[in-house]
Structure 1
Amino acid sequence: MTNMVPSLLRRSVLLITTLLVSFSPHVSADELVFNTEEYPPFNFSNSAGETDGLSTRLLEAALEDANLSATFRILPWARAYTEARLRGHHCVYSTARTPERQYFFQWVGPLVETDWAAFALADSNIHVTGIEELEGLRVGSFREDAVGHFVKNQGIPILLAAADRENILRLEAGLIDVWVSSETVAKYIAADTGIAVKRLFTFNRVHLYLACHPSVPKEVVSQLQSSLDTLRAEGRDERIRERVLEQWRWDP
């Protein structure tokens, strides 16, 4: 019986040590997860099935320079965003840094800049010049999107899709009258689908970021920000931008 006590104590200490290690707040770079969505040309799945895009390549370069790594995943935006809010060591991009989101995350960026705009089919007889004139029209956005939230906060009801690409199809099908989105993304989707749209007006300019869960070590966030700043100072961000966007020239 006396021999069993030290044995039980040793097992208890081993179990407690294992649990402490398992629940340690430290995370290696290999455990970081970067969620994103199909939001071209900033982030998308290319023909090889790889996560690609302007923001993706900027983050890949920053990770490499900082000697860090992360797993990239493309998900529906609502899930990508929610996971980054609720799951440890997860981040999400390309994310607008709005007042509502500010304190949920640690931020790295900006990665890119874009205008928010309203669109209709090219042959539509809709001619409006501001958000207040959208009243009475069917306006489309998608779940957890900052553009739709912004317009909704101005008092305009929003019809939500699961993903932004669905909105141009809803325009063509006559299910919505106006589509609010990032201008850069809308241009890309219009070119890719072959559906002609016209820009009605622009109403905001925003920067998009990598937004990380508070559990991501601050030194990792700092390293990524420093690497991104160096990329920009050296002009490498512009070279990456040119390579990604050169095939998507579009005259609004």
Structure 2
Amino acid sequence: MRQGLVLALLALCAYADVFKVYTEQNPPYNFMENGTVTGSSTKLLEALLQHSGHQLEGNRIWFLPWTQAYHEALHVKNSLLYSTARTPEREALFQWVGPIGKMTLGVVAKKQTHIRIASSDQLQRYKIATIPNTASEKLLLKLGVHETTLERFGHVPSQIKKLAQNRVDAVAYSVDATFNILQEMGYDTDDYEVVYLLKESDLYFAFHKETNPQTITTLNETLKTLLK
């Protein structure tokens, strides 16, 4: 009863906005299932918008490859992108609501290749598949990996297919998502392993930088109440 009253009061204080929402294939947080966008972050976002009085533009979530979704969220006003790792490089590019979870970023390879990476400088030895503008790619570059050794792809299934075909040595992405997508694509996840951990990152809803700051404050307060 008390929680419902708090949520109702917060909703009354908020200015009702209509947001264009972008996401990508990143299970278990956000993914497509039987033509519907779902996942733990998706369900949380739907509850957050409902309780705060805001709406989805066109009553839909735009499901796009990460590079395209990221570009749209940067340039389309009244938009948001999820689930987004909050990094120093992105801090001023968005306004942030969260955290909504944690994501482990790592490098995954086939066990049969016997890749062993003891230190970051050894990453340079391998052809690693990445998605441009992802936190995992930026971490690799920050660790000194040259762009010329990276194999860039537009979306995750493409890089995983190349890994399975031995066309790249490893992929750098969310560990959970990588293994989920391997399974979805019919590969035996027991044939793969994490060979290097990059970072554990907090995940957020990333709103366009010109979103009303009061809206962000109210959304964060509502989120805290929902997560209690």
> TM-score of the superposition, structure 1-length normalised?
0.77
Over the matched positions of the two proteins, sequence identity in percent amounts to: 27
Counting only pairs closer than 5 Å after superposition, residues 90-101 of structure 1 correspond to structure 2 as 90-101=79-90
- Structure number with the higher strand fraction is 2
1:69 aligns to 2:61 (yes or no): no
Provide, for residues 104-140 of structure 1, a one-character-per-residue CA deviation record: whole Å limited to 9, x for no partner: 1110011110111111113222222332211221011
CA distance in 2 between counterparts of 1:168 and 1:97 reads 24
RMSD: 1.6
Q: Helix, strand or coil: the match of 1:175? A: coil
Query: 1:32 maps to what in 2?
Result: 19
CA distance in 2 between counterparts of 1:152 and 1:109 reads 26
CA distance in 2 between counterparts of 1:231 and 1:90 reads 22
Q: CA shift at 1:165, angstroms?
A: 2.0
Query: 1:7 maps to what in 2?
Result: none
Query: 1:231 maps to what in 2?
Result: 226
Provide, for residues 125-174 of structure 1, a one-character-per-residue CA deviation record: whole Å limited to 9, x for no partner: 22223322112210111122110111012111321110122221111112
Provide, for residues 159-205 of structure 1, a one-character-per-residue CA deviation record: whole Å limited to 9, x for no partner: 11101222211111121101111111112112222323111131211
Query: 2:101 maps to what in 1?
Result: 112
- Structure 1 stretches lacking a partner, 5+ long: 1-26, 234-252
Structure 1's consecutive aligned runs of 4 or more residues displaced over 4 angstroms after TM superposition are none
Counting only pairs closer than 5 Å after superposition, residues 234-245 of structure 1 correspond to structure 2 as none
Amino acid at match of 1:227: T
| Greater relative contact order (Cα < 8 A, sep 6+) | 2
Verify the 8 A CA contact 1:63 1:227 in the aligned structure 2.
no
Amino acid at match of 1:130: S
Query: 1:43 maps to what in 2?
Result: 30
- Structure 2 stretches lacking a partner, 5+ long: 1-14
- How many pairs are equivalent? 205
CA distance in 1 between counterparts of 2:167 and 2:42 reads 32
CA distance in 1 between counterparts of 2:223 and 2:118 reads 37
Query: 2:215 maps to what in 1?
Result: 220
**Structure with greater Cα Rg:** 1
Verify the 8 A CA contact 2:16 2:53 in the aligned structure 1.
no
Provide, for residues 23-76 of structure 1, a one-character-per-residue CA deviation record: whole Å limited to 9, x for no partner: xxxx842x31111111111111111x1211111111111112212222321112
CA distance in 2 between counterparts of 1:198 and 1:214 reads 37
> TM-score of the superposition, structure 2-length normalised?
0.84
Verify the 8 A CA contact 1:93 1:210 in the aligned structure 2.
yes
1:159 aligns to 2:151 (yes or no): yes
